[in-house]
Amino acid sequence: MEQRSGFLSGRQSVGVKLALIPLIFILAIGFILSYVVLSQYERRSDAEVIHVVVRQRALNQWYVKDLFLASLKQKNDYRYWRDQFIQTADSLLTGGEILTRLNGKDTFRVEAAPSAEIRIKLQESKKLIQKIAEQETVFLALSPQAPQFPQRVIGIEKINLELHELTRDIADLYTQNAQSKIDEMIRNSILLSLAVAVIGLLLNWLISRAISRPLLNLAEQAKKVANGDLSGEAIEVRSQDEVGQLTESFNQMKLGLREIMQQNIQGIRSLTASTSEIMASTQQQSASTQEQVTALQETTATMEEVRQSGAQISERARHVAAEAESTVNITEKGLQSVTETVTDIEGIRFQVNQVAENIVNLSEKNRAVGDIIALVTEVAEQSNLLALNAAIEAAAAGEQGNSFSVVANEMKHLANQAKDSTRQVRTILEDIQRGIGKAVMLTEEAVKKVEKGRQQMEVSENTIRHMADTTQQSIQAFQQIVAATNQQQLGFEQVFQALLDIRQSTEQTAAGTQQLNQASNSLNRMGQELQQLVARYHL
């Protein structure tokens, strides 16, 4: 039977299916925890980046402060803070390694700026710090008592304030980016939890359905079998687990019960029909035995009449045999006449064929004459043309050509007569050709009729020959009949003695028939009871 394939293909046992439910939930919880841990690790990296961005503000302040102290000749570490600020800004901008602590050696890697806005502000911060750095030499060269010193201090302070605000904006942007990731993590965690819950419930429902549905179907079918309903198709086995094995066993059990009940029903029907036939037969036999006794008496009287009839049949058979011999002689004479007729028809057919060949030869010669006439016609036309040319020459010769003109006219007259004669001859030849064609057709028809007559005579010959053979066989059969009738007389005596024996056997049969009738009545009652028992089952 057909089986499903896939995750719930039915190849797993019921225990494995039940164990899948908690296993699926455990895997789902582990997946969610892994996602949360990875997200938290990423948030930790974001916190370190925010710490570095906030540290940029401190580097800026330290840089400006040390720059002012250096102008007072007190301290000169401002370059370190400036370089650290620029290096950190580069790492935040394009991604790279950053010191975890300024005085340490440990570093961690940061990704490139997550947004275009942050990249722009980081680039602006580099420009501002570089703008201050461009003024370092001039500023440090001034004396604090110089008139330009306060203005330089105010300019640097102004740039410092812009840089301070810019670093604060950058820190806010990184904080917002981290917060959005946290929100996304929370949202994804909720969605994952809901998805896991839905998938878990769905798988739980599918597994439960894969186990309970065939069981419910099996229970329903079992209830039908308990009520005597063995009809319907076998339950489809969709799994190879315990439920599938139980279903397969149930189908085999139902099929076995159905076959047993069908055999029982057929056997009971056969038994009932047989007992009914036996009852009818015994009743008929009982009646017929009485009739047989009467019939045997009548048969004995009839046997004498049959013996006398046999003698008459023997005499008549001898008379018919004599008549048949006479018929054979007449048939032989008719057969001889038919053979002679067939020979004559064959001669006629040969002569007709000869006539047909002569007509065909005549047709060929007629065509040859037509060709000669065509040649004569052509000669006449040439003569006519020659006469025309001669007349033209005579006219050109004048009086001297008169005699020649007369000859030319005569030639023309003769050529015209020749053409007319050939035309008439051709017409006559065409008539002759048509007559020859009709003669050929009639000759062919005559040949066909002669052939058909010959075939019919052959059929007649075969028929008469068959009649002669049949008559000869009839004579032999009548001779056998005569011999058989003599043997019948002896057989009639034996039949009469056999009839006496049959009468005695018939009386014994009547007594046995009465006992058989009683036994068949008992079997009929038993068959009816069995039919009532199996009637409650539906196949």
Q: Are 408 and 387 in contact (CB under 8 A)?
A: yes
Q: Count how many residues are written for the chain.
A: 539
Residue 20: name the closest of 11, 12, 30 by CA: 12
User: 56-59 — which CB contacts under 8 Å span 24+ positions?
Assistant: 56/85, 56/88, 56/89, 56/125, 56/167, 56/170, 56/171, 57/164, 57/167, 57/168, 57/171, 59/84, 59/85, 59/88
What distance in Å separates the CA atoms of residue 313 and residue 319, rounded to the nearest whole number?
Answer: 10
Reduced 3-state DSSP string for 28-69 = HHHHHHHHHHHHHHHHHHHHHHHHHHHHHHHHHHHHHHHHHH
CA of 240: how far to CAs of 217, 249, 514, in Å? 16, 12, 63
pTM flag (> 0.75): no
Tokens of 441: 């057709």
Task: Identify the bridge partners of residue 229 per DSSP, sorted by sequence position.
Answer: 538
What distance in Å separates the CA atoms of residue 256 and residue 225, rounded to the nearest whole number?
Answer: 12
Domain positions in the chain: 14-224, 254-534
What distance in Å separates the CA atoms of residue 373 and residue 351, rounded to the nearest whole number?
Answer: 33
Could you please state the CATH topology (level 3) that the domain comprising 254-534 is classified under.
Answer: Helix Hairpins (1.10.287)
- Give me the tens of pLDDT residue by residue for the chain, a chain 539 residues long: 444 545 555 566 667 766 766 777 688 778 777 766 676 555 567 788 888 889 998 898 999 998 888 888 876 788 889 989 999 999 999 988 888 887 778 888 888 888 999 999 999 999 999 999 898 888 888 888 888 888 989 999 999 999 999 999 998 998 998 888 888 888 888 998 899 889 988 888 887 777 777 788 878 888 877 777 777 777 877 777 777 777 888 788 878 877 877 787 787 778 678 777 767 876 777 677 677 667 667 766 776 776 677 667 567 767 756 776 776 676 778 778 768 877 877 886 787 688 678 877 877 887 787 787 788 788 878 887 877 787 787 777 777 767 767 777 887 788 788 778 888 877 987 887 888 788 778 878 877 887 887 788 788 778 868 877 876 776 677 677 567 766 876 776 776 677 677 667 767 766 776 776 777 777 778 777 777 776 766 76
CB atoms within 10 A of CB 527: 20
φ, ψ (nearest 5 deg) of residue 12: -80, 150
Q: Are 513 and 289 in contact (CB under 8 A)?
A: yes
Q: Are 158 and 193 in contact (CB under 8 A)?
A: no
Residue 92: name the closest of 51, 134, 135 by CA: 51
pLDDT (0 to 100) of residue 48: 86
What distance in Å separates the CA atoms of residue 227 and residue 7, rounded to the nearest whole number?
Answer: 37
Extended strands (E) in 240-355:
none
pLDDT (0 to 100) of residue 6: 52
φ, ψ (nearest 5 deg) of residue 236: -70, 125
The interaxial angle of helices 78-94 and 14-71, nearest 10 deg, is: 150
What distance in Å separates the CA atoms of residue 481 and residue 474, rounded to the nearest whole number?
Answer: 10
- The 8-class DSSP code of residue 96 comes to E
What distance in Å separates the CA atoms of residue 431 and residue 436, rounded to the nearest whole number?
Answer: 9
